[in-house]
Every structure is written in structure tokens, then in C-alpha cells.
């Protein structure tokens, strides 16, 4: 098994997206890239901790490779935005790849460069993985638990009602 970590805005929809990828064995939502140990959702939302909302993806590299996960990451959010995804604004919603080793760093930089080469300005940070702080239980599989009920206003709310 291997792990990957991505920040792509609100973690609820990103988690759903990665759970659907064959070869992904688990996805947890949480926080990373900040200055506070064990941050809470409220602290992260305040924008004062420096954390991003992230997903930690467990995957079987014999079934799905890291490059495919990078494609899913870039396709599931607007990587051209700085600190914003749809109606969500703040550093906690930044686009980021948190790499765990030199291979992941190289693959992430190459994936970003391919998009830039096609004329797309990419704002995604590519940075060493920081500690992953698992979000509160009510955030885990939030959309799946609420399927059929309103989730949020805006884009996510209309997609998952």
C-alpha cells in the first residue's frame, strides 16, 4: 500500500471523487500544512492555522499509479485558483500536492508542468508532506452519510442532493 495527500478545496467532494477510483483502498479527510498540532475544523476555517483541508489517499500501486491519482486531483478542482474553490475562499482551500518522497515530488511537478505547457496557469503548491491531522468523525464520508439530504449551498449542494 502507498499514500498520497492532496488539498483541492472543501474535502467532502474530493473524498468522494477519490473513493470512486479503482485501486484506492481508503480515503480520510483532514488537515495538513499548518502550524498547529491537532487542529479542529473551527480553527482551520478561521484561516489562522495555515492548514489546508486535505484528503489522505491509501492506494494499491499495483492497481493505480500515482500519476493517475494526480490526474484525478487536477481534474476534480480548479487548480488555477489561488486560495479559492467555488464559494470557498481562504488558504485552507488552496490547491496543493503534499509529496511523501522524491518520486512523488517529481511526478507532481511534471503533471503541473504538462498543464502549464498547455497554456493553463496552475496555482497548485507542490510541497513536502506535513503531518496529517484526521478531521472530526462527522466529516469522514460526509457526503455518503448525507446522500439525499442537503449538503451545502452552491455547487456541492446542487450536486449531492
Q: Which residues are known catalytic residues?
A: 10
- The values of phi and psi at residue 69, to 5°, are -65, -35
Q: What 8-state DSSP symbol labels residue 47?
A: T
> What is the rounded distance in angstroms from the CA atom of residue 25 to the CA atom of residue 153?
30
Exposed e or buried b for every residue in 60-87, given b needs 16+ CB within 10 A?
eeeebebeebbebbbebbebebebbbbe
**Cell 511534471 identifies what position?**
110
Report the interhelical angle of 66-75 vs 102-117 (nearest 10°).
40
Amino acid at each position: 500500500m502507498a499514500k498520497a495527500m492532496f488539498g483541492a478545496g472543501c474535502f467532502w467532494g474530493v473524498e468522494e471523487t477519490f473513493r470512486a477510483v479503482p485501486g484506492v483502498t481508503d480515503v480520510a479527510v483532514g488537515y495538513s500544512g499548518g502550524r498547529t498540532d491537532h487542529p479542529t475544523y473551527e480553527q482551520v476555517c478561521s484561516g489562522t492555522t495555515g492548514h489546508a483541508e486535505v484528503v489522505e489517499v491509501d492506494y494499491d500501486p499495483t492497481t493505480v499509479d500515482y500519476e493517475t491519482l494526480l490526474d484525478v486531483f487536477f481534474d476534480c478542482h480548479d487548480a488555477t485558483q489561488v486560495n479559492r474553490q467555488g464559494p470557498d475562499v481562504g488558504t485552507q482551500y488552496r490547491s496543493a500536492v503534499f509529496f511523501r518522497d522524491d518520486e512523488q515530488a517529481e511526478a507532481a511537478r511534471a503533471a503541473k508542468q504538462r498543464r502549464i505547457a498547455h497554456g493553463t496557469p496552475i496555482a497548485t503548491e507542490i510541497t513536502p508532506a506535513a503531518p496529517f491531522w484526521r478531521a472530526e468523525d462527522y466529516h469522514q464520508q460526509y457526503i455518503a452519510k448525507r446522500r439525499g439530504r442537503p449538503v451545502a449551498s452552491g455547487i456541492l449542494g446542487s450536486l449531492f442532493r
